[in-house]
Amino acid sequence: MSIISANIIAKETIKVDVVAKEAVKVNIMAGVGRDADKLDGKHASELEPAITEGTVYQCWKGNKSWQTTPYVDVRDYASFSVAIDAIGASEKTLLIPNEQAVAADKTVPANVTLKFLQGGSLNIATTKTVTINGHVEAGPYQIFKWAGTGAVALGASAVKEIYPEWWGASPSASAAVNSLGFIAALDQDKKILISEGTYSYDTSLDVPNDICIEGLGGFKTILSYTGAGDYGLKITQGTTLSGFRVSQSVNRTTERDGIRLSGSLNILKDVKVYGFKTGIRLVGDGVGCAYNYLYNLGFWGNFYDLVYSALNDGWCNENQVFGGYVVGCADASSYGIYINSATNPINGNRFFGVNIECGQKGVYCDGWYNEWHGCRHENVLTDFGFGTNSKGNAIYSSIAPTVVDASTLQQNLIIAGLTTKLAGNVESGEIFSFRNKSGFSIADDDVYSVSPNSVVAGILCISSELTGNSCIVNYSADASAQMTGLVLGANVNVTTGILTGTTGTDGKITVSAHTDGKIYVENRRGGTVYLSVVFLAGYGP
């Protein structure tokens, strides 16, 4: 018989776990003071009740009683099922230090706590289920094994948080084993905690509604997808993901999403995605994808980092992104943020303080009334481009120089508190610039055009660093084609008709309105000029 000695020092608390077939000896150690050899004034021989095996004892200075918590060792019974039956309605903790076979369905009542020591587990036969209504105590190691369709069902009060390791997942396990472990954990409808390490898996994971998956950070907890499915992870409704990375060996040609978000009211925090054709896709497919909140996301190595799409009468509206970074890749035609509405609405999505540092194109937007606030653009070939269906999108106070493909501006709005440059002719849209050099440049003997669309008539202000190049005009760009100078700088002329680059007077800037619905600005000043424009008008019919 082995002996566990517990040395008790005055003013300290000690808990001694005693398992069956072992005994305890309690020694009182010398301390300070006249009662140094006593505990609460009692010698060891006076302590009551007597110490017995199979019980946890707790004793401390200042309390004259022993407290006991009964443990039962599963090894004292013929099987796990027999131990549960023997406990009955008593409040007990069942120690499970080794593997226990379960050959029939079994329900663990709420009065029984299962305490798995490392190496302890339940091995459940195929077609059988262990239902656990009591509490479960275990660390991040495997405690459930099964054959075929054997399963575990954790009751509502069994545990609040679980580990996929309980079902065999681990950084050292195979992708197939980890997939089974994750799927089994997801089936429990509990908060899932994922430890540090890289977990390979080969099956696309569908996350149930209203649960939380939490790792230790996007650079510590990594889910590495090795399968051939359409996505690595899919969430639909009320789910929270935080603190991990979804990645794959770089494959930017196969249509696959790292994370597919196809519902509403989900939250993503500190989630990173690497190596996919699409990092995260928000998609309304026959339903709405709305009111999702994304915080401090990180993307790199994806062809599209963040995609918004809508299919089959679905919509993708009112989602918000806060901070984070979009790095993308250097592949031709790749995008950081890609909003493609086709014929379905993608409206009212907002981006706040997102850092966009893609090697190719930063943002493409073909939706309505989406907004970018204080976003930063750096090392991007083209920061913004707009599709033919776009309308009412707004860029507010972008940080660092922002290049907008003005030929695609459509009926969109730029409010530039810092430097914003337009590349190409403005086919339509509105530009509000509060600092000169926020706007566009025109080379010598070149022409710039803008189609104000619904703002067919009103007042146009053109400003420049040089007073002589500025003007305020009254225009009409409809069938009447009128242009009247209200305030003209010394170097500005006004007219009507199409300008080609060398139409107007040499040495002048010429501003013209035409029946094709466009305003033309021609530069013949002998060098590049930098201009910004503001349309002041009410919308027409």
25 compared with 260, residue with greater pLDDT: 260
| Domain, as residue range, for 477 | 442-541
Q: What is the pLDDT of residue 431?
A: 47
Q: In the prediction, which pLDDT does 21 show?
A: 34
Same domain, 22 and 55: yes
Whether pLDDT at 379 is above 50: yes
Residues 493 and 512 in one domain: yes
Residues in the chain: 541
Residue 374's pLDDT band (boundaries 50, 70, 90)?
confident
- Mean pLDDT across 374-392: 78
Residues 165 and 129 in one domain: yes
The reply to whether omega before 49 is within 30° of 0 (cis) is: yes
Residues 151 and 65 in one domain: no
Domain boundary among 38, 72, 106: 72
CA distance 294 to 477: 42
Are 97 and 163 found together in one domain?
Answer: yes
Q: Look at residue 490 and tell me if it is in a domain.
A: yes
- Of the two residues 66 and 353, the one the predictor is more confident about is 353
Q: What is the mean pLDDT of the chain?
A: 82
At residue 510, the pLDDT reads: 97
- What pLDDT score was predicted for residue 389? 79
Q: Does 399 or 125 have the greater pLDDT score?
A: 125
Q: Is the model's pLDDT at 46 over the cut of 50?
A: no
- Choice between 470 and 536, residue whose per-residue pLDDT is larger: 470
pLDDT in tens, 122-155: 999 999 999 999 999 999 999 999 999 999 999 9
| Top mean-pLDDT range of 38-47, 361-370, 442-451, 502-511 | 502-511
Query: Tell me, what's the pLDDT at 289?
Result: 95
Same domain flag for 65 and 101: no
Are 132 and 169 in a shared domain?
yes
- Tell me if 481 sits within 8 A of 466, measured CB to CB: no
Which of 127, 158, 191 finishes a domain?
Answer: 191
3-state SS class at 498: coil
CA 91, distance to chain mean position in Å, is 43
303-317 pLDDT, tens digit each: 999 999 998 889 999
User: In whole angstroms, what separates CA 151 from the centre of its chain?
Assistant: 31
Same domain, 448 and 468: yes
The pLDDT assigned to 330 comes to 81
Going by pLDDT thresholds of 50, 70 and 90, the confidence category of residue 271 is very high
CA angle in degrees (0–180, nearest 5) for 349-352-355: 115
Domain boundary among 72, 93, 109: 72
What span, in angstroms and rounded, lies between the C-alpha atoms of 293 and 322? 8
Clarify whether residues 86 and 121 are in a common domain: yes
Evaluate whether residue 394 is within a structural domain: no
Check whether residue 68 and residue 94 sit in a common domain: no
Q: What is the pLDDT of residues 341-351, one digit of tens each?
A: 766 779 999 99
Domain shared by 513 and 455, yes or no: yes
Residue 30: pLDDT over 70: no
Q: What is the mean pLDDT of residues 414-441?
A: 49
What is the total count of domains within the chain? 3
Asked which of 10-19, 23-32, 161-170 is least confident by mean pLDDT, the reply is: 23-32
Judge whether residue 157 has pLDDT over 90. no
Nearest to 442 by CA among 526, 506, 529: 529
Least confident piece of the model among 65-69, 158-162, 227-231, 473-477: 65-69
Residue where the block lists tokens 């027999």 = 82
By percentage, how much of the chain surpasses pLDDT 90?
A: 59
- For range 501-515, the mean pLDDT: 95
Residue 360, domain member (yes or no): no
46 within 8 A of 28, measured Cβ to Cβ: no
Instruction: Enter the pTM of the model.
Output: 0.72
Same domain, 446 and 541: yes
Res. 92: pLDDT tops 90: yes
